Each structure stands twice: as structure tokens, then as C-alpha cells.
Amino acid sequence: MWGCVISRFSRISARNLFTMRLKTTEFQSLFTEGLKGLAGLFEKHQYELRIAGGAVRDLLSGKRPEDVDFATTATPEQMKSLFQAAGIRMINNKGEKHGTITARVRLQELHNENFEVTTLRVDVQTDGRHAEVEFTMDWQKDAERRDLTINSMFLGLDGTLYDYFKGYEDLQNHRVRFVGSPEQRIQEDFLRILRYFRFYGRVALKPDEHEPETLAAIKEHGQGLAFISGERIWVELKKIVVGNHAAHLLELIYKMELAQYIGLPPGGDVEGMKVVWQNSQHLSPKPITVLAALLRCPEEVEKMDIRLKMSREEKSLGLFLVKHRRDLCRREKQPDALRPFTDFIIDSRDPDCQSKVCELLKYQGEDKLLSELSCWSNPRFPLSGHDLRKIGITSGKEIGTTLQTLRDIWKKSHYKMDKDELLSHVKL
């Protein structure tokens, strides 16, 4: 059943094309000299060029998009021809078979602007991971192959919005829906399950207002996530965790039995994760900081890394949190509550130890200690083995033992003793 090829012959009926004119400062700010030149080039050759996808969603939400993608009626060959004729360099041609050409426009002020432009397309065949496409000049056909209604809109460079599937209405109502049939959209690319959760966390106001049809399709086809690469899953999962409603969405992933397919432990500590999320969400924790609450032992961190191919830093932080979340914590009777953490950092040889301890404090919901540690500078131990040799200690073993004893004395002084004060404690 999984991995089957789906051919698309039927066309979704557009629910009445909606248009409006956008005249916001965020939209106007996109018109750099480079974009003006690109727009003029496409207009001269009578090819339509529109802003597509997420950038449209952001602009309609009053945000200036970080990345702007464009769609066009020109084929890749036609784009290459007009760019070459205009002396515009093309880079990163890996996306050409899917219709994407990246143009690097050189400006007079000696810097470049890159524009990613993709030919309108339809999916001819899909297998849940990859799509075989053919090019089209029909904007609605391109819109209907996209995942969510809020991502299926286009924006003309004159500010005209082209909305075929009520994406603008859904955005206004904070509603996240698939274009057409959720089942069909998911079968085309199983990663869309996680993209749905990610955008739900960005758009929805309440944590549990999913359409029953959508959840049924996710439940039915969740096994398809097993065929998606770990790198793609990890990108989406991290965005889910730092978005709104993360605890609800992760709990839903477990309730729908998706965890086993995306690298999370089947028996994850969901209740513990909910507590960590509640305590830390206002502290901007890293994704692995929240996910670590699901993991019960270092072996589960290792298994998660094998599936998701996390970065070395992410894996290291996950292992650190699982190992130290109980033994390194605020002690109720300790007058200086920050002391266990600063002592730990000073004793550590890990150059990233302080940042890891900050994440641990987020995990534990220790707002005050986190604030104090963020302002704390790691003091330098004022002695070295060379200083001990100068006063006559030559044995390597004795030097090591003496340094540790003096380090303990220095720590008890709240790191205030200088070299001479510490050396006065040496018995020769």
C-alpha cells in the first residue's frame, strides 16, 4: 500500500477565484532595484511573474517575508534564454528538472540579489516522497497541487491577490486546511502531515480545532512518514516544537501513533514533556530541549539521532539534558541557588557547557536562575601547573592533586581568591 504511485487526472474545482489589491508597506518594501529589473525583463517577454506560496501568506499577515519565491508561465528553457540574453547569471541548477531557475542579478552598488523562479507545474505521478511534474500555464492547476489553502495563493507584482481555494478567508479565520482532499494531498507527499502540524502551530488560535476529516486522513496514512528521510522530518519537527501549541501537537502525534515513524520513542514521556513545555515556552527553548523531556535514557537520544540525523550540537545537548536534568538542579537549602550550576560549568572541559546549562535551566523552568546565569561570566582559575613548579612542586601527580585542592578552595571563596592567596595554602 505504501509507496504506491498516484496519478492525477481529476481537477479540483476552484471555489470561485478571489482577488483583491494589496498595498502594504511590507509589500512595497520588496521592490528592490533587482526585483524591478527582473519584473521588467519578464514583462518585456510577455511572461507572467507572481509571488508564490509562503511569502504571500506572510504579506497578508502583515509580515515582511524573509524568503520570496516566484512562479511564472515561462518554462525553464525560456527563462534560461531570456536570462542569458540579458547577461544574468544563473546558479544552483539542481532544481531545473522541477522547473526552478535561480537568477543572480548584479546591481550597480556591487552586490547581488538572487531570485528563485519556478515554472507553473502539475504533478503527473507521485509516490509519497517525490513527484514527476509537467509544466503548465494554468495558475489554478499549480495552486491545486500545493498542500494547504493558505500556501496556495499568488500575488501579482501590481499587488493583485489570486486566491483559488479560500486561502485568504482561512488565514483571516486562523484555519488550516488542505487544498481539496486531505487524503489525496497527504498521499502525494507524506511529509505534509508534519507541515500541517507546523502551520497549525503558526496560524491557529486554539490548540484543538482540527477538522475531523483532516485527522482521519493523517491517522490513515501516518505510516507513510516511515518513507520520508530523517533530514526532512527533523526540519519540520523542529519548527513544530518552537511554534504555538507545541505540547498539544506533540501529544497528538503520539495519540495518532505517528511517533514511531518520525524518530520519537514510542513510549515517550508525554506528560513530562507537557510540563517542560509549560514551564519553558516563554524562555525560547531549543527544540531538542523540549523533545528531551520525551526521552527516558541516553539510548533513546542515540536512536533519535540515527533516524533524524541531528547536528552534533543538537545530539550533544540532548544527551546532556537527559543525563543531568535530575542530578544538576537547584537545591532548596542552598543559600546560593546558582552555585551548583556555576561550579559545574567551572569544572567542565566542555566549551559549550554554559549554554547547555542555560538550556537545562529552561527545561527546569528556572527563570530567575537563567537570568542570573546569562549575566554571569566564567571566572578564570588563577593558577596553573607552572605556578606550582616555580615554588618547588615537580611531581606530576602531586601537581594534579594540589591544583584540585586549590581549585576547591577557590570555589568556596566564590572564585575571589587570587594567585598569591591560593599559593599561601600550599604546604611544602
pLDDT band at 43 (very low <50, low <70, confident <90, very high): very high
Percentage of residues in the chain having pLDDT higher than 70:
94
Listed in order, the ranges of the chain carrying CATH 1.10.3090.10 are: 263-378
CA–CA gap between residue 89 and residue 82 (Å, rounded): 11
Q: Is the pLDDT of residue 7 over 70?
A: no
| pLDDT, tens digit (0-9, with 9 covering 90-100), for 194-230 | 999 999 999 999 999 999 999 999 999 999 999 999 9
Q: Is the pLDDT of residue 10 over 50?
A: no
Q: Is the pLDDT of residue 60 over 50?
A: yes
How many CB atoms neighbour CB 288 within 10 A? 25
DSSP reduced 3-state for 50: strand
CA–CA gap between residue 361 and residue 366 (Å, rounded): 5
| pLDDT, tens digit (0-9, with 9 covering 90-100), for 142-171 | 999 999 999 999 999 999 999 999 999 999
**Residue 335, pLDDT score:** 76
pLDDT band at 2 (very low <50, low <70, confident <90, very high): very low
CA–CA gap between residue 115 and residue 337 (Å, rounded): 52
**Residue 12, pLDDT score:** 54
* Nearest partner of 262 among 221, 319, 224, judged by Cα: 224
Which has the minimum average pLDDT: 137-141, 237-241, 314-318, 386-390?
386-390
DSSP reduced 3-state for 29: coil
**Mean per-residue pLDDT, 105-114:** 78
Statement: the pTM of the whole predicted model exceeds 0.85: yes
Identify the CATH homologous superfamily for domain 263-378: cca-adding enzyme, domain 2 (1.10.3090.10)
**Mean per-residue pLDDT, 218-247:** 97
DSSP reduced 3-state for 167: helix
Angle of CA points 102, 105, 107, to nearest 5°: 160
pLDDT band at 94 (very low <50, low <70, confident <90, very high): confident
Listed in order, the ranges of the chain carrying CATH 3.30.460.10 are: 1-179
Q: Is the pLDDT of residue 258 over 60?
A: yes
Q: Is the pLDDT of residue 1 over 50?
A: no
Mean pLDDT of the chain: 91
**Residue 103, pLDDT score:** 95
Q: Is the pLDDT of residue 127 over 70?
A: no
**Mean per-residue pLDDT, 247-263:** 97
Q: CB burial class (10 A; 0-12, 13-18, 19+) of residue 144?
A: buried
| pLDDT, tens digit (0-9, with 9 covering 90-100), for 265-310 | 999 999 999 999 999 999 999 999 999 999 999 999 999 999 999 9
49: number of CA atoms within 13 Å, CB side?
21
At 419, the amino acid letter reads K
3-state DSSP percent of the chain in helix, strand and coil, to 5: 50, 15, 35
Q: Which residues, listed in sequence order, are joined to residue 70 by a DSSP beta bridge?
A: 51, 117
The CATH number given to 1-179 is 3.30.460.10
Size of the chain, expressed as the number of residues it contains = 428
